[in-house]
A and B are shown apart, each in its own frame.
Chain A
Amino acid sequence: MDPFVLLGLSRRPLLSDDEIGSAYRKLAGESHPDQSGGDAGRFRELGEAAAILHDPARRLRQLSGSSSGSLLPPEAAQLFPRIATILQQADNLIEKQVATSNPLAKALLLAPLKNLSADLDSTLNQLQEWRILLDQELAEIDVRWPEHDPNPISLLADSYAYANRWESQLRERRLAMESLSG
């Protein structure tokens, strides 16, 4: 079933997390199986619909009807080598730090951890800048909506998918490093 219809939201590219969240909470609260007249099936469908709409990549694919991963956006191609390298470095360093038990060896690893953490932050910033551009593009498409060209929409969806995945991978490493040094 169409996630926009299910949550009673208008079918358009730009929806805020708050709009989606409050529509979801209202309807899910009513259909939760604990409530009289609750409906477990509908409750689950609402959850799935909200998950799709919260993710701009999946939301745009709903609108364009395109499937995932058909195109490699040029910005993604440009960012990829840096992100792959830094993820690998982070994994190696985290693994070393976890395996180390004595304080001296741990202290030796702190300086490289700190350097890498700075690299991680600057890469995250770069991703965030890209994301701002994507959000601008999304807003422009939304202004012209429902008039649209399907190609840029599916390219935008793919861009969001890369940006989201990389951001969460980088943040994951940063969290791991923070809890190691903190």
Chain B
Amino acid sequence: MIAGIDLGTTNSLIGVYESGFPTLLADSEGRRLIPSVVFYPENGTPVVGSEGLRMQALHPERSVSSVKRLIGRRFGEEETKKLNGPTGTPVTLPINGQNLTPEQVSAEILKKLKAVAEERLGTAVDRAVITVPAYFNDAQRAATRRAGELAGFVVERILSEPTAAALAYGLDRLQENSKVAVYDFGGGTFDLSILRLDNGVFQVLSTHGDTSLGGDDLDEAIAGLLLRDARITTLTPEMKVRLKEASRAAKELLSNEESTIVRLPFMEGSKSLEIPLARAQIESACEPIIAKTRAHCLRALEDAGLKAEELDQIILVGGSTRMPLVQRLAAEIFGKQPNLSQHPDEAVALGAVLQGAILEGSLQNVALLDVTPLSLGIETFGGLMNVIIPRNTTIPAKAGEMFTNAVAGQSGMKIIVLQGERELAGDNWSLGSFEILFPPSPKGTARVGVQFSIDADGILQVLARDTATGSEKIVEIQSAVEVSDEAVEAMLSGSLEHAFEDMDARIFTEARLKAEEMLPAVKAALEQIGSELPESEILEIRERSSEVQAALESKETVRLKQALAALDNATQTLATRLLEKAMG
């Protein structure tokens, strides 16, 4: 039996295929949705699920939530900015004096799911299909697979979430031939996949997304809104957890109600908060975040070679699609009412169960043709990315590349493997590097074939092929940053010593760059539409501009920053006028 698992940012689910139907399994209290929160007591085993969620409010420093946003990440990336560690090394979380990897934390959630299933079924459950966001890269997929193995599963497949949702949607429409988009907006990630459904074959045409865009971000925006009115002096970790919980609860409530009152008793000492909140307020705070999904939708349509009107259905899944604003924006992007037939929390898990059934042969005449979301390539001479397997290639996929020696007697060369869509090698994610060895030979005559293959999990394998014998050998990819502990220490202490003297200089440089961009922009804008503004406003803008100029010459950081802020403020109407004019 192969279990299907949706390992979510906020909640996780497990299910199995029983007598011809996918079934999701509930814990002893009858809940199918297991909160993806892990609490680490000082002694004893970690506590997962709703109990973990309760403990998090009391001990945020010993609890981990939304670990999915960290899995497969490195220190120094945008998503890990709140954590300290040597840039470029895999991220870890300090809990109870230990450094835990996100895989270890995810494994606790998976162990809990395994226990729930085993208790319900009365048998061992040790094979699983685990879903990941479609836009997860190689490192994130591999780390999720490791988490499954740490939890004691044989991981039969890493499956993309929107593909899983499409499978759940299409199961009782197997005879149909249609084009659908799956708009999957979850707790921490967003994906848009476009599929062709054709007589039991689910062909993914394209996929695009953002692995750091989800309900978490909406909660934070709402928390910001609450905090603005709250007059809190210092925000402790406990208060943050409560505020975020309250924001999430208000968001969920306002999907059905027009207004609510957020109550946080004894928030700071004896001070309790009661903040009225209307749906319109949270919508204007969340709109810029949700609007980010638009670019991904357009990109996926472009890559699929389709126009929005050619799609038969826009299927919404993921908890965040319960928000009316999300539904409205999806309708606006695609020009049609979205399909809400799928359970937003359960469709992905059901799809994972179905993929398990396909793999064990109990669901026949159904096939998933999935794609790799990101282009795979190598760094070429000159620091450019040379694409070997383009994005949206159906997986499993393979591509060979022949390498030769550039000079006589060259003993080998280092190949850096990249994933991403940017032209410059350095702008892409580096998967690591490997060395190929040449036998001694004249220039251009040594030949080593290297085969890059992306398996059905979307994970890369590299094979070096001996062209003479045809034998193949797996190449180990060295992580991009195999730095020794001493080297890391040295890097850290070095940067700390310089940190303070650098800081002021850096802030001034940033402000100077901004001023140098701003002053000519103000001048040009005044030339264009200055005549349309009242004299007093022009005068003010001129004054503020001269103050920026003076502050720039004085080289005083604080003065320059204040002057810039004032100029920014004074030119707001000007910017709006320009925008209106351009939009015509």
Contacts and interface: CB of A to CB of B under 8 A. Distances in A.
Given A33-B396, A44-B398, A22 B575 contact: no
B517 interface: yes
B397 A33 contact: no
B518 A29 contact: no
Contacts of A34: 358-359, 367-368, 456
B330 interface: no
Interface in A1-55: 21-22, 25-26, 28-30, 32-36, 40, 43-44, 47
A28 B298 contact: no
B410 interface: no
B579 A107 contact: yes
A29 B393 CA distance: 16
Contacts of B302: 171, 175
A25 B177 CA distance: 11
B512 interface: no
B368 A101 contact: no
Interface string B357-372: 0110100000111000
A108 B369 contact: no
A35 B361 CA distance: 8
Contact of A43 (B199, B396, B571): B396
B521 interface: yes
Contacts of A108: 521, 524-525, 528, 578
A114 B582 contact: yes
B127 to A, nearest CB: 14
Most chain B CB within a 10 A radius of its CB, from A30, A34, A113: A34
Most chain B CB within a 10 A radius of its CB, from A22, A32, A106: A32
Given A101-B517, A175-B302, A26 B578 contact: no
B518 A32 contact: no
Given A104-B521, A175-B299, A110 B578 contact: yes
Contact of B397 (A25, A44, A100): A44
Contact of B578 (A21, A100, A104, A175): A104
Given A25-B203, A110-B578, A104 B358 contact: no
A140 to B, nearest CB: 25
Interface in A56-98: none
Contact of B582 (A25, A28, A33, A107): A107
Interface of chain B: mostly helix, strand, loop or mixed: helix
A105 interface: yes
A178 interface: yes
Nearest to A103: B575
A151 interface: no
Contacts of A33: 396, 456
A117 B163 CA distance: 34
B196 A25 contact: yes
Contacts of B299: 175, 179
A44 to B, nearest CB: 6
Given A25-B196, A25-B369, A107-B579, A102 B568 contact: yes
Contacts of A32: 367-369
A125 to B, nearest CB: 16
Contacts of A30: 367
A155 to B, nearest CB: 25
B496 interface: no
Contacts, number: 103
A175 B525 CA distance: 27
A179 B367 contact: no
B522 interface: yes
B200 A29 contact: yes
B419 interface: no
A102 B517 contact: yes
Contacts of B575: 103-104, 106-107
B53 interface: no
B473 interface: no
Given A34-B359, A47-B397, A111 B298 contact: no
A29 B299 CA distance: 26
B511 to A, nearest CB: 12
Contacts of A36: 361
A182 B581 CA distance: 15
A106 B203 CA distance: 40
A30 B198 CA distance: 13
Contacts of B522: 104
Contacts of A102: 514, 517-518, 521, 568
B521 A179 contact: no
B394 interface: yes
Interface of B: 177, 196, 198-201, 203, 294-295, 298-299, 302, 358-359, 361, 367-369, 393-394, 396-398, 456, 514, 517-518, 521-522, 524-525, 528, 568, 571-572, 574-576, 578-579, 581-584
25 contacts: A22-B177, A25-B198, A25-B201, A28-B367, A30-B367, A32-B367, A33-B456, A44-B396, A47-B394, A102-B517, A103-B568, A104-B574, A104-B578, A107-B582, A108-B524, A108-B525, A108-B578, A110-B578, A111-B581, A111-B582, A113-B582, A114-B584, A178-B295, A178-B298, A182-B295
Given A28-B201, A108-B528, A175-B298, 16 more contacts: A21-B196, A25-B198, A26-B199, A26-B201, A28-B394, A34-B367, A43-B396, A104-B521, A107-B578, A107-B579, A111-B582, A114-B584, A178-B295, A178-B298, A179-B298, A179-B299
Return the 10 tightest CB-CB contacts between A and B, nearest first.
Answer: A110-B582, A107-B578, A29-B201, A105-B521, A179-B295, A29-B367, A25-B201, A103-B575, A32-B367, A25-B198
